[in-house]
Amino acid sequence: MYEERPARLSGAVVWTRAIGPADPGSRPVLPDGCMDLIWADGRLLVAGPDTRAYVPGSPAARYAGVRFAPGQAPAVLGTDASALRDERVDLAGLWGARTARRLADRISDAADPATALESLVLRRAADAPAPDPLMRTVAARLRAGVSVGRAADEVGLGVRQLHRRSLVAFGYGPKTLARILRLRQALALVAAGVPYAEAAHRAGCADQAHLAREMRSLTGMTLTGYAARAGYRARPH
């Protein structure tokens, strides 16, 4: 069972998941432009920004996580997002084995690991440099459907400058982020019962075929296959 709620850190989400008979744990995690700090059966892990679907090989029984808003995690975690692209790494590799073990034990011993993990993130964020404010604006503008060139102009950056800063903040360039955010918007519409063609149009794709190509490119799945695995009632037309 999966549940989530807004975090006390602005823009972030706290989530939990318990693997059981109704949730075997093999459901793919699709790219979303975000990074996560995850407690999984006593271990602390960092999920980097994905450019393809991720399927856990050996899922844990219990998870708690904080999903950061796009561009928010690098300052808190102390690493460029591009260093973790398409990776799942032990927190020990970033903060040291002793620190990671101590924090993991503290969260494991807590009555509510999700709340304990959220408190850890809040403490780290309070002591960390502020995230790049221009990248937060860029993410918001790309989510709204503006072009990369226009987003760069609006924040006063050249396209190459924007690309370099996007690698640090998001893990990939702004064009990739725009594609991922557009796909997520389309899938949210599909989940709400919107027909594929209409979802494609409303999300900013040229047509349904464009959405289908993006789905295959970024997830390796078809729209119908994804809807079936997620339990949605697909409406192709």
For CA atoms 20, 35, 219, 183, the dihedral sign is positive
Name the token pair of 223: 């729209």
Residue type for 90, please?
D
Please state whether beta strands 2-6 and 13-18 pair in parallel, antiparallel, or not at all (unpaired): antiparallel
pLDDT, position 217: 96
Residues 212, 80: Cα–Cα separation, whole Å = 31
Tell me what pLDDT residue 224 has. 87
Residues 159, 157: Cα–Cα separation, whole Å: 6
Q: Which of 17, 4, 131, 113 is nearest to 70 (CA)?
A: 131
DSSP 5: E
Quote the CATH superfamily of domain 133-230: Homeodomain-like (1.10.10.60)
For the chain, where are the alpha helices, taking DSSP H only? Answer: 73-77, 92-95, 97-109, 113-127, 133-143, 148-155, 159-170, 174-191, 196-203, 208-219, 223-230
Task: Give the pLDDT confidence score for residue 35 in this predicted structure.
Answer: 98
Q: What are phi and psi of 39, to 5 degrees?
A: -100, 125
Q: Which residue type is seen at 181?
A: L
> What whole-number distance in Å separates Cα of residue 119 and Cα of residue 108?
13
Size of the chain, expressed as the number of residues it contains: 237
The pLDDT value given to residue 24 = 58
Q: What is the pLDDT of residue 26?
A: 65
- Whether 66 contacts 9, CB under 8 Å: yes
Q: Report the helix count and the strand count for the chain, using DSSP H and E.
A: 11, 6
pLDDT at res. 59:
82
DSSP structural state of residue 200: H
Whose CA is closest to 33, among 157, 181, 234, 203?
Answer: 181
pLDDT at res. 225: 86
Q: Are 213 and 221 in contact (CB under 8 A)?
A: no
Domain boundaries, the chain: 2-127, 133-230
Per-residue confidence in pLDDT tens, the chain, 237 aa: 889 999 999 999 999 999 876 665 567 889 999 999 999 999 999 999 999 999 887 788 999 999 999 999 999 999 999 999 999 999 999 999 999 999 999 999 999 999 999 999 999 999 999 999 999 999 999 999 999 999 999 999 999 999 999 999 999 999 999 999 999 999 999 989 999 999 999 999 999 999 999 999 999 999 888 877 766 555 555
CA nearest 63: which of 38, 81, 46? 38
Question: What pLDDT is recorded for position 161?
Answer: 96
